[in-house]
Chain A
Amino acid sequence: MSKVVIHGEGLGKRYHRGALQESTLLRDHLSRMLKSPLSVFRRPKDETFWALEDVSLEVREGEVLGLIGRNGAGKTTLLKILSRITKPTTGWAEIHGRVGTLLEVGTGFHSELTGRENTFLSGAILGMSKREIDRKFDEIVAFAEIEKFIDTPVKHYSSGMYVRLAFAVAAHLEPEILLVDEVLAVGDAAFQKKCLGKMSDVSRQGRTIVFVSHNMAALRRLCTRAIWLDGGQVVKTGDAGEVVDHYLQKNTECNLESAWADDLTAPGDGRVRLRSVRVIPQTDFGEPITVHTPLRIEFTYFNYVPEMMLNVSMLLNNLEEVCVFNTYSDFAPRPAGLIRHTVEIPGDFLNAGSYYVNMLIVKDASTGILFRDNVVAFEVVEGEVVGNWYGRVPGAVRPKLNWRSEAIDAGDLEVSTARGQST
């Protein structure tokens, strides 16, 4: 067993809700003091709440620990305590090793300074020594792909360039323990991919990572263990895949159904109005959608124009905002009234990950008359593991295709190799 590098016992953090609302102006305090001098000796009535309560954890060297939970569950508070940004109210923790904290991209950047200057400044603030930055400077600039603009003030950068440089600096931080908040939530798909790639590089180097994310696929892929926090307390600790599954069962962040009760607020116009879009997993209630689960997606809308030629087109996008496929219903004249289209996505077809449905209603097989992005979303989780491969299966889809495997005799082999040489 490798040694324990983070050990926390009974960590808690109490905030004064009253104090947060209370004025931060001296003026107000003085005037209160003048109005009722005795109030100085009274503690202001304040509600306290525990952002974190009695959390104990142990992280071993080389482990990647994921923190899961809804907003306000205490994940960031825990990260801030471990990185010493704020002190706990109760409990204690011991950290063995140099800690790097990434709570945002571009910590310490100053818009007036050039890319070169910011690289040094941000690097130093994140905990790199000047020598270290000197040594890695070229590498950082190359990673960010901004060689030409390195001596331009970053206020003239495009947001993409800014984020690339900021991340390049952070990525070259080499702490023994890395604490990362939802850094991946910013930037485009390519950038998120780069982040994920860098994180798995870091973990392969045997460094320890504590990682907060809402990206279940990333958590499942990168983390060895996970802690699920809710209301500041630990709900479950254990193997990352297991914790993620439990979390997903309880908290579908996916939005399996969108429905509009009255016509006035429903998307659409005088021709069609959307009523509902639903994802119906063909599985027992409450079971997570796995890669083996067949799905039905149902689109219901009201058609106001009799005999209008209508069809529904659906685009399935994944987390990287790549369109996995586009599929559409038949074209036909539709009667006035409620129309429902249903499409089936077979099991053993989609890969594990998050999916978002964009839809449009098309008139005359050519003109889109209703567009709706992210109308429903769902998460497909890993099914039962076959064999001993626990990594993520690459690919946008994971169809089960027909394979034929057989033993052949030597005569056949000679023919095929001969053919191979002749080309």
Chain B
Amino acid sequence: MASVTAHPPDDPGLAKVSPETIALPLPTAPATVRIEPPHGWLDLHLHEVWQYRELLYFFVWRDVKVRYKQTVIGIAWVVLQPLMTMGVFTLFFGRLARLPSDGLPYPVFYFAALVPWTYFSTALQSCTSVVVDNQRVITKVYFPRLVLPLSAVVSGLVDFAIGFVVLLVVTAIYGIHPTLAALWLPVLLLLALLTAFGVGLWMSSLNALYRDVRYVVPFLVQFWMFASPVAYPSSLVPQRWRWLYGLNPMAGVIDGFRWALTGHGVAPGPLMLASASAVMVVLIGGLFFFQRMEGTVADRV
């Protein structure tokens, strides 16, 4: 009871310095949030993802840190994996099956395709499982769930960058020097990212609903690889099926990568515009589907 009289509330000296005046102002946040039952499809809240961009950064940072900490050989693994695949492809598809390679040395031909393809397949697969993998966090705190698949496709870029440097070394060894066409590379990479993100949104939502989807995705990725000019040049595809083939955005990306780095092969043509539009349709559909799932994901996982 003594403590009541020890601090008379009207003591002017004490009253002035409240802890609140010492605390720094809070970062600007939405003043009011309205919580309502989920309604309709047309509410994407994309501006909110922007507000949480720092969290996106931290998720990416976590993924990269953990990935390089958990494997003993760390970064070497990122380089070795496509290099070994390149060796296998060169041996079997190149030397034994004697598939054409658009006049490029086999290692360059395969590695130029494997770097973007490895990025795409890893990004798609980690995007698929990212919601379920983070269920602990999802059920304990709010943030726009879209940050999770975004972080999955963005964190793959670090591996890609390392692989890309190796690719430059490989092409340099074979005396091939990039031309101005290399300016296409960022566009192609963006297309690969958006494709992985668009399809990944569908897959990660489906995986939150049905847990076995993540076992289906590796098969999907494998079929997709054979539907893309990774192990063979797209010139092998009969002319009358080219339009259908061209709708596969990864076909355009891989052909584009080879062409942009070496000047050989198929340059991006109007078909890429078509496949880019297809990606946008898948992506926008995926955004709505994901958002639809987002409202109830904490109850499911």
What residues make up the interface of A, taking CB atoms closer than 8 Å to B?
8, 15, 24-27, 29, 80-99, 101, 103-104, 107-108, 110, 112-113, 117, 120-121, 124-127, 129-130, 132, 135, 174-176, 201, 204-206, 387-389, 391, 393
A298 to B67, alpha carbons, bound, how many Å? Answer: 61
Interface centre among B18, B34, B299 (most CB of A within 10 A): B299
CB nearest to B209 among chain A residues? A24
The answer to whether B140 and A84 have CB atoms under 8 Å apart is no
A81 to B295, alpha carbons, bound, how many Å? Answer: 11
Contact of B54 among A27, A101, A130, A393 (CB under 8 A): A130
A282 to B143, alpha carbons, bound, how many Å? Answer: 53
For A391, list chain B residues within 8 Å (CB): 3-4
A80 to B143, alpha carbons, bound, how many Å? Answer: 12
A135 to B25, alpha carbons, bound, how many Å? Answer: 13
For B295, list chain A residues within 8 Å (CB): 86-87
The answer to whether A27 and B212 have CB atoms under 8 Å apart is yes
A121 to B1, alpha carbons, bound, how many Å? Answer: 43
The answer to whether B27 and A88 have CB atoms under 8 Å apart is no
Q: Which of B58-66, B87-95, B184-192 contacts A (4 or more CB under 8 A)?
A: B58-66
Q: B31 → chain A, closest Cβ, in Å? A: 6
For B213, list chain A residues within 8 Å (CB): 26
CB nearest to A24 among chain B residues? B211
CB nearest to A130 among chain B residues? B54
A174 to B139, alpha carbons, bound, how many Å? Answer: 21
The answer to whether B35 and A95 have CB atoms under 8 Å apart is yes
Q: Given A84-B33, A92-B34, A387-B1, A26 and B206 touching (CB < 8 A)?
A: yes
The answer to whether A129 and B27 have CB atoms under 8 Å apart is yes
For A124, list chain B residues within 8 Å (CB): 54-55, 58
The answer to whether B140 and A103 have CB atoms under 8 Å apart is yes
Contact of B20 among A25, A84, A113, A206 (CB under 8 A): A206
The tally of CB-CB contacts under 8 A between chains A and B is: 137
Interface centre among A95, A104, A124, A175 (most CB of B within 10 A): A124
Q: Given A205-B19, A205-B23, A25 and B54 touching (CB < 8 A)?
A: no
Ordered by A's residue number, 16 sampled pairs between the chains whose C-beta atoms are within 8 Å are A24-B209, A24-B300, A25-B211, A26-B212, A85-B298, A90-B37, A91-B37, A95-B35, A98-B29, A107-B141, A112-B70, A121-B61, A124-B55, A127-B143, A135-B24, A174-B23
For A97, list chain B residues within 8 Å (CB): 29, 31
CB nearest to A120 among chain B residues? B58
Q: B218 → chain A, closest Cβ, in Å? A: 15
A280 to B189, alpha carbons, bound, how many Å? Answer: 76
Q: Given A81-B35, A389-B1, A132 and B27 touching (CB < 8 A)?
A: yes
Q: A91 → chain B, closest Cβ, in Å? A: 8
Q: B70 → chain A, closest Cβ, in Å? A: 6
The answer to whether B141 and A103 have CB atoms under 8 Å apart is yes
The answer to whether B37 and A85 have CB atoms under 8 Å apart is no
A27 to B142, alpha carbons, bound, how many Å? Answer: 31
CB nearest to B63 among chain A residues? A110
Contact flags (1/0) for B34-73 with A, using CB distance below 8 Å?
A: 1111100000000000000011011001100110011000
Contact of A87 among B57, B70, B296 (CB under 8 A): B296
A82 to B34, alpha carbons, bound, how many Å? Answer: 10
For B37, list chain A residues within 8 Å (CB): 87-92
Q: Given A85-B141, A121-B58, A205-B19, A26 and B35 touching (CB < 8 A)?
A: no
The answer to whether B58 and A107 have CB atoms under 8 Å apart is no
Q: B62 → chain A, closest Cβ, in Å? A: 6
A268 to B36, alpha carbons, bound, how many Å? Answer: 57
A104 to B57, alpha carbons, bound, how many Å? Answer: 23
Contact of A204 among B19, B32, B209 (CB under 8 A): B19
Is B281 at the interface (CB under 8 A from chain A)? no
The answer to whether B35 and A92 have CB atoms under 8 Å apart is yes
Contact of A107 among B36, B137, B211 (CB under 8 A): B137
For B137, list chain A residues within 8 Å (CB): 107-108, 125
For A101, list chain B residues within 8 Å (CB): 140-142
CB under 8 Å from chain A, chain B span 64-110: 65-66, 69-70
A206 to B18, alpha carbons, bound, how many Å? Answer: 10
CB nearest to B211 among chain A residues? A24
A44 to B26, alpha carbons, bound, how many Å? Answer: 48
A87 to B4, alpha carbons, bound, how many Å? Answer: 44
A83 to B27, alpha carbons, bound, how many Å? Answer: 18
Q: Given A26-B206, A110-B66, A389-B1, A82 and B35 touching (CB < 8 A)?
A: yes
For A91, list chain B residues within 8 Å (CB): 37
The answer to whether B26 and A98 have CB atoms under 8 Å apart is yes
For A125, list chain B residues within 8 Å (CB): 55, 58, 137, 141, 143
For A98, list chain B residues within 8 Å (CB): 26-27, 29
The answer to whether B32 and A96 have CB atoms under 8 Å apart is yes
Interface centre among A85, A88, A174, A201 (most CB of B within 10 A): A85
Q: A56 → chain B, closest Cβ, in Å? A: 13
Contact of B210 among A15, A29, A89, A393 (CB under 8 A): A29
Interface centre among B18, B37, B38, B61 (most CB of A within 10 A): B37
For B136, list chain A residues within 8 Å (CB): 107
Is B216 at the interface (CB under 8 A from chain A)? yes
Q: Given A26-B206, A87-B36, A124-B58, A389 and B26 touching (CB < 8 A)?
A: no
The answer to whether A95 and B33 have CB atoms under 8 Å apart is yes
Contact of A25 among B24, B69, B212 (CB under 8 A): B212
A261 to B143, alpha carbons, bound, how many Å? Answer: 53
CB nearest to A83 among chain B residues? B142
CB nearest to B301 among chain A residues? A24
Apart from the given pairs A85-B138, A125-B137, 16 other A-B contacts in the complex at a CB distance below 8 Å: A25-B210, A26-B206, A27-B212, A84-B142, A86-B296, A91-B37, A92-B34, A92-B35, A92-B37, A103-B139, A107-B136, A107-B141, A110-B62, A121-B58, A387-B1, A389-B4
For A112, list chain B residues within 8 Å (CB): 65-66, 69-70
The answer to whether B140 and A85 have CB atoms under 8 Å apart is yes
Contact flags (1/0) for B190-229 with A, using CB distance below 8 Å?
A: 0000000000000000100111110010000000000000
